[in-house]
A and B are shown apart, each in its own frame.
Chain A
Amino acid sequence: MSKKANKTPEQQQYEQLEQKHELKRPVMKNCIRAFWVGGLICVVGQAITYFYIYRFDFTEQTAGNPTVATMIFLSMLLTGFGVYDRLGQFAGAGSAVPVTGFGNAVISAAIEHRTEGFVLGVGGNMFKLAGAVILFGVFSAFVVALIKTLLIMWGVI
């Protein structure tokens, strides 16, 4: 909000004028698309989980890892063939939030910087987008685990 306060009256006036012409994000349409595509990706994931449980020696607890690996592999193929970014434009959060979206963020950066070589290009840029997710994901997991440990130590839970 401090940003707005710094604007001159002319800038604020212009912002109002510009807003009239600005195309708004179709939020409702985006939500519905995200719901269906995201749900569909999860259905595929569920099917793969069942596949590992019934065809291989996995249980409901252990099937998670191979399922995630398979989903990321599929996401990699779709990214490499140039399909995932189109799906992303259509589905928005629906294809960004599941683990396939995370895979896409890593893989697209790796493909993009291949031209700068394997070490400085792929290695240095692969986690350009996903790095923040990993950092803050691990850190918040640590904080939550710390709170849980303390609560158990104090006998609260």
Chain B
Amino acid sequence: MLKGKQSWVFENRPVIAAAGVSGGPFEANGNLAEDFDVLHDDLWMGEDSYEKAHRVLLEEAGQTALNKANIQKEDVQFYIAGDLINQITPSSLSARTIQIPYFGIFGACSTSMEGLALASFIVNYRGADYVLTGASSHNAAVEKQFRYPTEYGGQKPPTAQWTVTGAGAALVTSKPSGQNLPFTTSATIGKVIDMGLTDPFNMGGAMAPAAADTITAHFKDMQLDPSHYDLIVTGDLGRIGQETAYELLTNNGLKIDRERFKDCGLMIYKDDQPVQSGGSGAGCSAAVLYGHLLNQLKQGTYRRILVVATGALLSPLTFQQSESIPCIAHAVSIEMT
């Protein structure tokens, strides 16, 4: 049901029946390694290209989610996935493997929540019994496309972020098999915000206004106070973007407890890992939410969370043609009974 200007309320409580998370070697050394289902000690993952390894990550995450829920892929009606690679080929090729009717979506690093919002909407209105949704990124494949070759010795500024090698997938359903599973309650779809920043090595700074806009819109539409949530977590704003977004939200009159405002890009790695301002990539919010945060919800650390995945909708071409960086953010609220 539409509520306010740009939010959906899911009154039928679509349940996240199960989720799967896969990651690479850098994530295995990270802060949340125990929350991953599959961890690779090699970036190639037994494939002969990084793009193929990228596809494998998503396939493993999806398959793990299905296995955990004990659901056959034939019983899943739709598959919604996206990533950062040109024409989202890793997602589409994983859809070729899994053979579930497929929506390919692109929202850059906000893809995870775009997918979860759409999956919840479809399930909420009985458009499907089961929808599998996921997002993924692979450090080497994404860097290759957006930046320099992996082995190129260019110095990254402290504002840069590290693309996460990881994937997260979740099975959303109207027919939960067990009790005490997390469910989605609402989603807010963001609009594209461009504050004129042009530095592709400072995505957090560019994306912060989009995050602030979507969060503000969410609370306005839902007529809630920020204290409603135990945790408001952004996707991959990193150090700079998160500080900036917090100030913007404060300026917008939202009083959020600083301790309850976190960022997936700052949670996934250890402080001593050389990631500059934090993690990023479509797999960042997907892996942290579907792994760590769902586990925390199930353990009772949090009861209600709002996940706001942020995406920078640029391409190397638009950057070279001196376009500024357009950004977007989508929010989904997840609760436990």
Whether A14 touches B152, Cβ cut-off 8 Å, given contacts A23-B239, A25-B157, A115-B50, is no
Contacts of B243 in A (CB 8 A): 21
Q: Interface size on B (CB < 8 Å)?
A: 34
Q: Which of A15, A24, A105, A115 contacts B158 (CB 8 A)?
A: A24
Chain A residues with Cβ below 8 Å from B322 are: 3
The number of residue pairs between A and B whose CB atoms lie closer than 8 Å in the complex comes to 102
Q: Please name all residues of chain A whose beta carbon is closer than 8 Å to the beta carbon of B301 when the two chains form the complex.
A: none
B-chain residues with CB within 8 Å of residue A108 when the two chains form the complex: 148-153
Residue-wise, chain B 130-173 has the 8 Å CB interface mask toward A (1 for contact) of: 00000000000000100011111111111100000000000000
Q: Is the CB of B153 within 8 A of A85?
A: yes
Which stretch, A49-57, A63-71, A87-95, A144-152, touches the partner chain B? A87-95
* Highest count of chain B CB atoms <10 Å: which of A21, A30, A96: A21
B155 engages A14 (CB within 8 Å)? no
B149 touches A21 (CB 8 A): no
Look across to chain A and name the residue whose beta carbon is closest to the beta carbon of B49.
A115
Is A22 touching B152 in the complex (CB atoms < 8 A)? no
Please measure, in the bound complex, the distance between the C-alpha atom of A106 and the C-alpha atom of B208, giving whole angstroms. Answer: 36
Q: Are A7 and B196 in contact (CB under 8 A)?
A: yes
Known contacts A3-B322, A115-B50; A18/B205 CB under 8 A: yes
List chain A residues, Cβ under 8 A from B197: 15, 18
| Given A23-B159, A93-B155, 15 more pairs with CB closer than 8 A | A11-B195, A18-B208, A18-B244, A22-B202, A23-B157, A23-B158, A85-B153, A85-B154, A88-B152, A88-B153, A88-B155, A89-B156, A107-B151, A111-B150, A112-B150
Q: 10 A–B contact pairs at CB < 8 A?
A: A3-B198, A18-B197, A21-B247, A23-B277, A80-B151, A89-B155, A89-B274, A93-B155, A104-B152, A129-B148
Among candidates B49, B51, B155, residue contacting A30 with C-beta atoms closer than 8 Å = B155
Residue A61 interfacial (CB < 8 Å): no
Contact with B along A91-123 (1 / 0, CB 8 A): 111011000010011011101110100000000
**Number of A residues with CB within 8 Å of any CB on chain B:** 44
Pairwise interchain contact A22-B151, C-beta atoms closer than 8 A: no
Interface string of A60-88 (1 = CB under 8 A from B): 00000000000000000001101011111
Give 9 nearest A-B pairs by CB, closest first: A88-B153, A112-B149, A11-B196, A115-B49, A108-B151, A23-B158, A92-B155, A108-B149, A108-B152
Name the distance in Å between B158's Cβ and chain A's nearest Cβ.
4
In the bound complex, what is the Cα–Cα distance between A96 and B154 (angstroms)?
7
**B48 beta carbon closer than 8 Å to chain A:** yes
Query: What residue in chain A is nearest B199 (Cβ atoms)?
Result: A22
B248 within 8 A of A: yes
What is the 8 Å Cβ interface bit string for chain B, positions 39-62, against chain A (1 contact, 0 not)?
Answer: 000000000111100000000000
**A11 contacts which chain B residues (CB < 8 A)?**
195-196
> Given the complex of chains A and B, what is the CA–CA distance between A12 and B324 in angstroms?
13
A112 touches B153 (CB 8 A): no
**A127–B244 CA distance with the chains assembled, in angstroms:** 38
Chain A residues whose C-beta falls within 8 Å of the C-beta of B196 in the assembled complex: 7-8, 11-12, 14-15
Question: Cα distance A112–B208 when bound, in Å?
Answer: 32
The CA-CA distance from A79 to B150 in the complex, in Å, is 10
